[in-house]
Amino acid sequence: MAADRAKAPRSGPRGGSVDPAALMAVAEALDDMPRRPDMLVEALHAVQDRFGAIRHRDLRALAELFGLAAVVPYETATFYAHFDVIADDAPLPPTVTVRVCDGLPCAMAGAATLLAGLRAAMPEARIIPAPCIGACDRAPACSIGHAVIGEASVARVKAGAAHPPALPAPRAYSALAASPPPEALVATIAASGLRGLGGAGFPVARKWQLVRGNPGPRHLVVNADEGEPGTFKDRWCLAADPHRMLEGMLIAARAVEASACWIYLRDEYGDLAPGLARAIADIPAGAFDGPIHLRRGAGAYICGEETALLESLEGRRGYPRHKPPFPGQVGLFGQPTLIHNVETLWWLPEIITRGAEAFAQAGRAGHAGRRLISLSGRVREPGVKDVPMGITARALIDEFGGGMAEGHRLVAYLPGGASGGILPASMADLPLAFGALEKHGSFVGSGAVIVLSDHDDLAEAARNLARFFRDESCGQCTPCRAGTAKAAAMLDAAHWDGALLAELAAAMADGSICGLGQAAMNPVLSLIRHMPEHVP
């Protein structure tokens, strides 16, 4: 009986047979791209760009060309928002796709009205909402392909009113040439007080020492995947002076004696890729002996988390890894890896040139150094602000933001983007610095300050942020996947159940693998704690 039920051996690979024509077409799209698993995301970009979408037959062809199981290209492609995976017989998406940012600053500036207007005016195009595209100071913003349109209107979008950033001019890397040997370099940065400016604020010199404590080969990875709503400082750095960031990268690479550098650029910043590639090509000969790789993300906020970024660089879904081990011990390809965001590297040339003491003394209220703040919302002059570490939100608005926008009164602010919580105006005199806000259930994080006024619905702001976390959860762990969805649904109720929301937040914080699930409820909890009069 058992023999009668036995299946005949499979005649071909799982997932269907490979179409010879698709195999040839995909191979042509890849050109001379190496057929390594870590190149899979780049290969998917090549197929998407060539054909306008990725059909199932293309995924089977990629599996064949890369020597992968058929499921691997499928699960990778469907993970990222910017890949259009369609059936073999499905029509292609519209040629023009307009992504309208619905992040909090853009929502405050009328993104919903813009979205509806574009859908009515451009029925031939695909008009879709999208998470933050890093143009919060020009809200509302949208993108056509990789062309970003700030202060967008229906007329401007129809006209395609966007211009690519200018290509950078070559320059000498004098700070790199002047930097001391690794041990002395670590000591210099320790004296400066520089901390990681991607969000965690870990001391840079200590991080270098931890990486150096593990045997090589070592890698340096640049995290250019800022996606926190309200954050756009890394875009500004890469557009204004990519060479300064690259010089900082090479200084850090010298400190940890890295053998290779990797730059992971979020796909929303694709308009900056040509300038960055040009700047890499113009690095002076002899500045670095190893390879410098430029790779693109594909629309996944979670890949700003350092271990999810490593997974993506290795050609997989951006699922965060369990820690320990930490990337400094077991990172890219299992080797010790130093990961820094763009702004952290931005400051290194100045510290080397002007001295550690000068940098350290630039702070306020006992805090060391300077940082770039992404300022958006109800201020007269939004933008990236070079400020002393420890500045208060009130001083930031008055001294660097031109004051509140006409007719607006400060009611609340987000000191650290979506995950940093919402604080009332009565707390606007607290330092925007690491360690200064945590006791209030908040933190400065990546330095994304969003200013809210008496014209804004704070409960709706919390709902906007909850929807963002729901949509951007990678889905790997249940507390985050189910918790963010439950939170968004609960916040749509006419009356919020504060006790149940707090219980949900505790479960998410305790059980989530990474910071997304752990911090997703911060805006809700801080609103309930500090401004209950704004809670339904």
From the list 26, 54, 49, 448, the residue with the least C-alpha distance to 273 is 49
Can you tell me the mean pLDDT for 364-388? 97
CA torsion, points 187, 188, 192, 193, in degrees to nearest 10? -20
pTM greater than 0.85: yes
CA distance 308 to 317: 8
According to DSSP, the β-strands at 147-149 and 142-144 are antiparallel
**Sequence ranges of the chain with CATH classification 3.40.50.11540:** 174-356
Residue 79 has pLDDT above 70, yes or no: yes
Q: Can you give the pLDDT at residue 171?
A: 87
Residue whose entry in the numeric block shows the structure tokens 């031939």: 124
SS3 letters across 500-518: HHHHHHHHHHHHCCCHHHH
pLDDT tens string 207-264: 999 999 999 899 999 999 999 999 999 999 999 999 999 999 999 999 999 999 999 9
Quote the mean pLDDT of the chain: 95
- Would you tell me which CATH number, out of the four given (2.40.30.10, 3.40.640.10, 3.10.20.600, 3.40.109.10), belongs to the domain 369-452? 3.10.20.600
Is residue 248 within 8 A of residue 347, CB to CB? The reply is: yes
Provide the residue type at 110 as one letter: G
Q: Can you give the pLDDT at residue 199?
A: 84
Proportion of the chain above pLDDT 70, given as a percent:
97
- The helix (run of H) or strand (run of E) holding residue 54 is strand 54-55
Q: Put residue 250 in one of left, alpha, beta given phi > 0 → left and psi -120 to 50 → alpha.
A: alpha
CA torsion, points 149, 150, 155, 158, in degrees to nearest 10? 10
Residue 2 has pLDDT above 70, yes or no: no
**Sequence ranges of the chain with CATH classification 3.10.20.600:** 369-452
- Would you tell me which CATH number, out of the four given (3.40.570.10, 3.20.20.80, 1.20.1440.230, 3.40.225.10), belongs to the domain 458-534? 1.20.1440.230
pLDDT tens string 250-307: 999 999 999 999 999 999 999 999 999 999 999 999 999 999 999 999 999 999 999 9
| Burial grade of 364 (CB within 10 A; 0-12, 13-18, 19 or more) | middle
**Sequence ranges of the chain with CATH classification 1.20.1440.230:** 458-534
CA distance 486 to 372: 35
The domain over range 20-86 is classified in CATH as 1.10.10: yes
Residue 455 has pLDDT above 70, yes or no: yes
Q: Can you give the pLDDT at residue 15?
A: 58
pLDDT tens string 392-411: 999 999 999 999 999 999 99
**Sequence ranges of the chain with CATH classification 1.10.10:** 20-86
According to DSSP, the β-strands at 448-453 and 54-55 are unpaired
Confidence at 165, pLDDT banded by 50, 70, 90? confident
Q: Can you give the pLDDT at residue 520?
A: 95
Is residue 173 within 8 A of residue 283, CB to CB? The reply is: yes
Q: Which CATH superfamily is domain 174-356 in?
A: NADH-ubiquinone oxidoreductase 51kDa subunit (3.40.50.11540)
From the list 307, 295, 238, 298, the residue with the least C-alpha distance to 268 is 298
Q: What is the CATH number of domain 97-159?
A: 3.40.30.10
Can you tell me the mean pLDDT for 169-183? 94
**Sequence ranges of the chain with CATH classification 3.40.30.10:** 97-159
